Amino acid sequence: MTEVHAPGASCRLGPSPTADAIRLDSLRTRDAASLAALLGRLPPAPWDAAAEAGSPLAAWLEAEGFVPYGRTVTVSRTADGLPRAPLVPGAVVGPYRNAEADHFIAAEAAAMTGTGCFAEMGSPTGYEHAEGHGAFVVARDGNGIVGFCHAQVPEGLITWLGVVPDWRRRGLAHALVAAVAREVTAARGTHLLAESADRAEALAFFRALGFRERTRRVLLLRRG
């Protein structure tokens, strides 16, 4: 990632995981004036940023034209010691292959439609070409892909997780998270971290796997 600095402010630039934009990662700023100076040194928008909900940074970003598009809760746990994943009859979990792109795009749309992140990303998201980048596993039912999970390795950051509606509440998401956890520990990673949608159902899933809630964040986008 490219680092950008201004007096009293800094961030790292990278591709956004949730929008077709430049992600302002690890954004830090002393005050609103420092943020404005930093933004003046960036490539042209669109820009994607995240801030702790209710924080001065969130307010300063909105004052600079950023618009909230989602709310998340950061959850984490150790990568080892997950509850045993259930066997899900009819589904097999294994590594993703780019040759399955069409199946993945269809499954992704079915699983993620209705979420703020997917609405901003649009389809296809780019994950259909992510074979070999981090830990990327999918569940197949013999006809196509019915679930997926991607995580950065060895950092253990889960960036994309979904299950198509007909396969939910069978333990498939648990099995997918367990599969990427094994890859994280094999790479000597120690923890799993995820940005859960700030919804009761999503948080209940992570709590059941032993994740603990850390911080609530708002996702903001400034369009070009």
Q: What is the mean pLDDT of each run of 10 residues along the chain (224 residues)?
A: 92 76 92 98 94 97 95 96 94 97 96 83 85 95 96 92 96 98 97 93 96 95 90
Interatomic CA distance for residues 58 and 218, integer angstroms = 7
The sign one gets for the Cα dihedral 48, 46, 108, 71 is: positive
Domains identified in the chain, total number = 2
Same domain, 9 and 89: no
Same domain, 66 and 84: no
User: Is residue 94 in some structural domain?
Assistant: yes
Same domain, 86 and 184: yes
User: Is residue 157 in some structural domain?
Assistant: yes
pLDDT score at 19? 61
- Whole-number Cα distances in Å, 122 to 90, 137, 165: 30, 21, 19
What pTM was estimated for this model as a whole?
A: 0.82
Range(s) of the domain holding residue 90 = 80-189
pLDDT score at 208? 97
pLDDT score at 17? 64
Strands, sheet with 22-29, edge to edge from the N-terminal-most edge strand: 2-6, 9-15, 22-29, 47-52, 212-222, 67-78, 191-197, 157-163, 145-151, 135-140, 92-95
The token pair at 158 is 């889960």
User: Is residue 180 in some structural domain?
Assistant: yes
Interatomic CA distance for residues 28 and 7, integer angstroms = 11
- Mark which of 23, 51, 70 sits at the end of a domain: 70
User: Is residue 100 in some structural domain?
Assistant: yes
User: Is residue 75 in some structural domain?
Assistant: no
Q: Cα-flanking dihedrals φ and ψ of residue 93, to 5°?
A: -100, 130
Same domain, 114 and 33: no
Same domain, 102 and 166: yes
Same domain, 84 and 183: yes
User: Is residue 195 in some structural domain?
Assistant: no
pLDDT score at 144? 96
Q: Taking every pair of C-alpha atoms in the chain, what is the biggest distance, in angstroms?
A: 57
- Residues paired with residue 212 on neighbouring β-strands, in sequence order: 76
